[in-house]
């Protein structure tokens, strides 16, 4: 079983729609969960960071973690064309430096 | 806003040649990382570096790879004898702290093509 799984299928939504992305993981030692956004020809940029089960909101973005199911989600409300990017989930263990990434979802928001 | 910078943005090399990828981490950061992303695949951890030593490395980071902080600002990744499968985007990252809920800040990457 892969350590972090993220269905890499591209996602096209109309402007204003809710975007829903998710990742599953197998390693119960992961304690810190991140969503990175990557624009074309740029490096990953941290979007959201959580380390406990539950929801965390930041503007139009909500990150959700369910440690019992080993499942994390990112929701983007009122999506904008500027949200068009690849979204990568990432996670790490406490006391460890390496980030384990999902494959990424390419999101296109159509005006 | 401070950012991680990387040079060159693109590098083309012949198989068997040595390449050095350069990074300037954010100035007050103490931990430095290299990741790579082969086209269509996940971003993969290569190595982390702190206090002039490798603190952790992955299975990918074998003897053909080395890292160095040659001065107070640069952090380099050397690939001694490049192979075709080393073709990838290489990202440098840095963080203030490590081991806990710290944020790793990524550079824009160097696209390496080995012919």
CATH number at residue B89: 2.60.40.10
CB atoms within 10 A of CB B93: 27
Quote the pLDDT of residue A98: 92
The two counts, helices (H) then strands (E), for chain A are: 0, 11
On average, the pLDDT of chain B sits at 94
pLDDT in tens, B50-89: 999 999 999 999 999 999 998 878 999 999 999 999 999 9
Per-residue model confidence (pLDDT) at position A41: 80
Of the candidates A51, A90, A103, the beta carbon closest to that of B101 is on A51
Question: Is residue B112 pLDDT above 70, yes or no?
Answer: yes
Task: Look up the domain containing B75 and give its range.
Answer: 5-114
Share of chain B above pLDDT 70, in %: 100
Q: The tokens of B64 are what?
A: 């053909």
Contact A49 B101 (CB under 8 A): yes
Return phi, psi of residue A17, to 5°.
-75, 165
Domains present along chain A, CATH in parentheses? 4-110 (2.60.40.10)
* Confidence check: pLDDT of B99 > 80: no
Q: For residue B66, give every residue at least 6 positions away whose Cβ sits within 8 Å of its Cβ, in sequence order, or none.
A: B77, B78, B80
B14, pLDDT greater than 70: yes
Encode chain A (111 residues) as per-residue pLDDT tens digits.
679 999 877 899 999 999 999 999 999 999 999 999 999 888 999 999 988 888 999 999 999 999 999 999 999 999 999 999 999 999 999 888 899 999 999 999 999
Q: Which of A23, A32, A44 to mutate to test the interface with B (most CBs of B within 10 A)?
A: A44
Q: Which of A41, A43, A46 sits opposite B103 (nearest CB)?
A: A46
pLDDT of res. A1: 60
Domain count, chain B: 1
On the question of pLDDT at B2 being above 90, the answer is: no
Asked whether B12 and B30 are in contact (CB, 8 A), the reply is: no
- How far apart are the C-alpha atoms of A45 and A83, rounded to whole Å? 13
The helix, strand and coil proportions of chain B, stated in percent and rounded to the nearest 5, come to: 5, 50, 50
Chain A contact set for B100 (CB, 8 A):
32, 94-95
Question: Which positions in chain A touch B104 (Cβ < 8 Å)?
Answer: 46, 99
Query: What pLDDT is attached to residue A2?
Result: 73
């Amino acid at each position: 079983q892969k350590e972090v799984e993220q269905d890499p299928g591209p996602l096209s939504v109309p402007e204003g729609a809710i975007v829903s992305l998710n990742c599953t993981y197998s390693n119960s030692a992961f304690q810190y969960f991140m969503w990175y956004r990557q624009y074309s020809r740029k490096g990953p940029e941290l979007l959201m960071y959580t380390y406990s089960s539950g929801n965390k909101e930041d503007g139009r973005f909500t990150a959700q973690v369910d440690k019992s199911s080993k499942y994390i989600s990112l929701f983007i409300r009122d999506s904008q064309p500027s949200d068009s990017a690849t979204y990568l989930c990432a996670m790490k263990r406490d006391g460890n430096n390496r980030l384990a990434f999902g494959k990424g979802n390419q999101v296109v928001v159509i005006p | 806003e401070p950012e991680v910078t990387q040079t060159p943005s693109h590098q083309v090399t012949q198989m068997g040649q040595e390449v050095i990828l350069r990074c300037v981490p954010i100035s007050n950061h103490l931990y430095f990382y290299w990741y790579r992303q082969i086209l269509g695949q996940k971003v993969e951890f290569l190595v982390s570096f702190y206090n002039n030593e490798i603190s952790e490395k992955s299975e990918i980071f074998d003897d053909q790879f080395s890292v160095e902080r040659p001065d107070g600002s640069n952090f380099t990744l050397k690939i001694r004898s490049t192979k075709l499968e080393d073709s990838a985007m290489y990202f440098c990252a840095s963080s203030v702290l490590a081991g806990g809920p710290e944020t790793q800040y990524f550079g824009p990457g160097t696209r390496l093509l080995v012919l």
